[in-house]
């Protein structure tokens, strides 16, 4: 019967950025590396296209379904809310989560369509806040050259330029955690930096309370 160990929670590590910036590539590598180093970690992404709400979002993104801009904004937010219980359970049981996209994408993409910024932020208020937001930034002209660009709704360069501007404006705004920028580097260089940030975050917030947006 030694001294009671403080219960360590997991860290909420968010990868954000414009389309094709490398979020999925980096999230997969990061999760593999953290697991190999012995950390408990799960990989999540928004939109989560596997739920009924996510199915509607998927059809909208593939342009097989049309929806009012406000309605689809609320669906993206609802898709985050429906995952809150799972995310809280994982974090409080000591598992970290590496998440692709979150409320920043929600706000920037809808605001780039012309919806009012304050209105765009409101449905996400009260969601779990990330402990760190790793922002993958990439010049839009580079993103446009990457594989698959242009296949889904929003993947045109003018729209993405608006989104990127809004991302850069919001950097100091919506987060409780730090935001770090990763400019155009090789996949392995970015990976090394993300691993270091993620491990630092896991250690730093192990005994801190969870916070909300
Ligand atoms: N959306 C999302 C909203 O409007 N509201 C919301 O609330 C949310 C959550 C779907 C769309 O929904 C919008 C935003 C999006 O438009 P998605 O499902 O995340 O979002 O979209 P995906 O198509 O899955 O992902 P992305 O287009 O954002 O691409 P990634 O994941 O950033 O990039 P990735 O890793 O797939 O890489 C793209 C290509 O680049 C190469 C890769 O090999 C790949 O070919 N690459 C690199 N090449 C050179 N150097 C590097 N460093 C590279 N890193 C990757
Ligand atoms: Na992706």
What are the domain boundaries of the chain?
A: 12-204
pLDDT at 178 over 80: no
Percent of the chain whose predicted confidence (pLDDT) is above 90: 72
Q: What is the DSSP letter of 200?
A: H
| For residues 66-77, average pLDDT | 98
DSSP 119-175: HHHGGGTTSBPPSEEEEE---HHHHTTSTTTTSSTT-SHHHHHHHHHHHHHHTTTS-
Q: List, edge to edge, every strand of the sheet that includes 12-17.
A: 41-45, 96-100, 12-17, 132-136, 178-182
What pTM was computed for the model? 0.94
The mean pLDDT value of the chain amounts to 91
Give 10-57 pLDDT, tens digit per residue. 999 999 988 888 999 999 999 999 999 999 999 999 999 999 999 999
Report how far residue 206's alpha carbon sits from residue 213's, in angstroms, rounded to the nearest whole number: 19
**Cβ 31 vs Cβ 43: under 8 Å:** yes
pLDDT at 67: 97
Confidence of residue 196 (pLDDT cuts 50, 70, 90): very high
Q: Within 6 Å (CB) of ligand 1, which residues are found? A: 17, 19-25, 46-47, 61, 76, 100-101, 105-106, 109, 146-147, 154, 186-187, 190
Closest ligand 1 atom, CA of 18?
28
Helix H or strand E encompassing 13? strand 12-17
Kindly state the average pLDDT of the residues 107-113.
96
d(CA 154, CA 148): 13
Higher pLDDT, 184 or 178: 184
Residue 176 has pLDDT above 50, yes or no: no
Task: Report the 10 Å Cβ neighbour count for 51.
Answer: 15
- Peptide linkage before 47 cis (omega within 30 of 0): yes
- What's the mean pLDDT in 178-190? 73
Pocket residue to mutate for ligand 1, from 29, 71, 82, 101, most atoms within 8 A of Cβ: 101
Q: In angstroms, what is the span from residue 101 Cα to ligand 2's centroid?
A: 8
Summarised one tens digit per residue, pLDDT across range 114-158 is 999 999 999 999 999 999 998 888 888 888 888 888 889 998 899
Q: Is the pLDDT of residue 89 over 60?
A: yes
**Which residue, by CA, sits nearest to atom 24 of ligand 1?**
24
The minimum-distance atom of ligand 1 relative to the CA of 27 is 35
Cα-to-centroid distance, 19 and ligand 2 (Å): 7
Q: Which fold has domain 12-204?
A: Rossmann fold (3.40.50)
């Amino acid at each position: 019967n030694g001294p009671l160990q403080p219960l360590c929670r997991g860290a909420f590590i968010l990868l954000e950025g414009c389309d094709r910036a490398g979020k999925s590539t980096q999230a997969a590598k990061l999760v593999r590396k953290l697991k190999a180093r012995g950390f408990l970690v799960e990989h999540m992404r928004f939109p989560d296209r596997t739920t009924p709400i996510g199915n509607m979002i998927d059809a909208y993104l593939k342009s097989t379904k049309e929806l009012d801009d406000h309605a689809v904004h609320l669906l993206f937010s609802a898709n985050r809310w429906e995952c809150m219980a799972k995310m809280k359970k994982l974090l409080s049981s000591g598992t970290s989560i590496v998440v692709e996209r979150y409320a920043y994408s929600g706000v920037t993409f809808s605001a780039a369509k012309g919806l009012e910024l304050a209105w765009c932020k409101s449905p996400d208020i009260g969601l779990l806040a990330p402990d760190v937001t790793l922002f993958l930034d990439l010049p839009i002209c580079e993103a446009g050259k990457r594989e698959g660009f242009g296949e889904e709704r929003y993947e045109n360069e003018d729209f993405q330029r608006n989104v990127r501007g809004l991302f850069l404006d919001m950097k100091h705004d919506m987060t409780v955690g730090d935001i770090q920028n990763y400019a155009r580097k090789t996949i392995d260089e970015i990976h090394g930096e993300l691993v270091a940030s993620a491990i630092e975050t896991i250690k730093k917030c192990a005994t801190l309370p969870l916070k909300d947006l």
